[in-house]
Amino acid sequence: MDVEVIVETPQGSRNKYKIDPKTGRIRLDRMLFTSTVYPLDYGKIPQTLAEDGDPLDVLVWLDEPTFPGCLITVRPIAVFWLNDERGPDAKLLGVAAHDVRKGRIRDLSDVPRHLLNEIGHFFDIYKELEPGKSTDVRGWMDCAEAERVIKEAEARAGIVPGQRTDVTRVTEVKIAGQ
């Protein structure tokens, strides 16, 4: 199951970018309060709706960072679960679908343990100094769980799984009470 991902924040950045759903432009959302940087490119799967009311988050494992707004066809391989101030938060991990260097990377067990630890550490501390924000990391699950999370997020967004049409627009959905 390949998905389209729009990169918001490139690997190595302390700046957190978001796609503005009204204009479609990249907006600087905030700077991380800690000295840590994003360990991989970080983006969203358009036309999905995660439990937190935003499109699904994805980390894309590439050899070089890309740039905000870059569209990548990604093969999901795992999902990292955490809870933050908004509740359960899934962070998918994937590779570029056509990257020959990662062609054999298909599931969680194929990912070097150290990379998984780096990503987990990032999400454990990246909100640590930010007032009113926190994370409680839960851990990694395999590709089958990642695919289940994607299908649920498509359904939550009212999309028939696999039938997303306009992958270039990230839409904002507000959940009542938030």
174 is in an annotated binding site: no
List the domains of the chain with CATH numbers. 3-156 (3.90.80.10)
Contact 108, 137 (CB under 8 A): no
57 is in an annotated binding site: yes
Please choose, from the candidates 87, 107, 85, the residue with its C-alpha nearest in 3D space to the C-alpha of residue 95: 107
Contact 74, 4 (CB under 8 A): yes
54 is in an annotated binding site: no
Q: Which of 89, 110, 136, 142 is catalytic?
A: 89
Model pTM score: 0.88
Mean pLDDT of the chain: 91
Is 89 annotated as catalytic?
Answer: yes
Average pLDDT, 10 consecutive residues per value, the chain (178 residues): 97 95 92 96 96 95 97 98 93 98 98 98 94 94 98 92 57 40
Contact 120, 139 (CB under 8 A): yes
- Chain segment 83-135, per-residue pLDDT in tens: 998 889 999 999 999 999 999 999 999 999 999 999 999 999 999 999 999 99
3-state secondary structure at position 151: helix
